[in-house]
Structure 1
Amino acid sequence: MNQEKLAKLQAQVRIGGKGSARRKKKVVHRTATADDKKLQSSLKKLAVNNIAGIEEVNMIKDDGTVIHFNNPKVQASLSANTFAITGHAENKQLTEMLPGILSQLGADSLTSLRKLAEQFPRQGGSHVLPSLAQGSP
């Protein structure tokens, strides 16, 4: 190797200036695929089983937003009390999901939905319905 290249490489290893200690190790940043492989291997150790037939998963947060998975891959290990839901997730507002999500809401979510409905101002003020007069023939 060339002496200039070697000196250049040695200079890059130092944290401070001349006379300071060299760094202990180079930090290698992981990619998302490496994290996914590690997660899958951990799930395999827990002996998770695939659960088929689940079309959607909705996780309702305290602030009224919903994490929505459409056609997720659901895995579960009842002995380890572990559930894994993987797939494309979307963050949506509770109002966007309303017609189809009403049957899935619990008591806590229904009270937050009532509070959300009270926040919206009533449209058009107070309307009095006119009485329909029956005319005699």
Structure 2
Amino acid sequence: MRNNTELVFVYNADSGIFSSIKDSIHKSISPKTYGCNLCGLTYGKLSMKDEWKTFIKGLTFKTEFLHKDEFKKKYPKYAMTFYPAVFKKEGAQLFPFISADEINKQKSLEELKQLIQNKIQTLQAII
């Protein structure tokens, strides 16, 4: 059963078809210089990885995924955030949950999943 807390994942990429094409090309040509490790770990060339989809569906929290331009528009108070990032949303309030530095240190999807699971376990221990 999911609780009232939501995790908001924010990509370090803008929305839109042209941004998607540009990002896809960048990831293919020079993945080490691509600016969104969250995108790089969770997406293949064209779509979200099945392993990531399954992981997200199994979380005990609702999830929302936003590109940074969408996030800035929806949550202008948090526009100065470093991306990618994950926030914990309770009601209308957002709280930093996983920083850009933490996400960018992950070298594989498995490491990212473990980071998220560890953070959730810590959060659930204090709820």
TM-score range, shorter chain: under 0.3
- Higher RCO (CA 8 Å, separation ≥ 6 residues): 2
Q: TM-score, normalised by structure 2?
A: 0.20
Q: TM-score, normalised by structure 1?
A: 0.19
Quick check: which one's helix share is greater? 2
Structure with max Cα Rg = 1
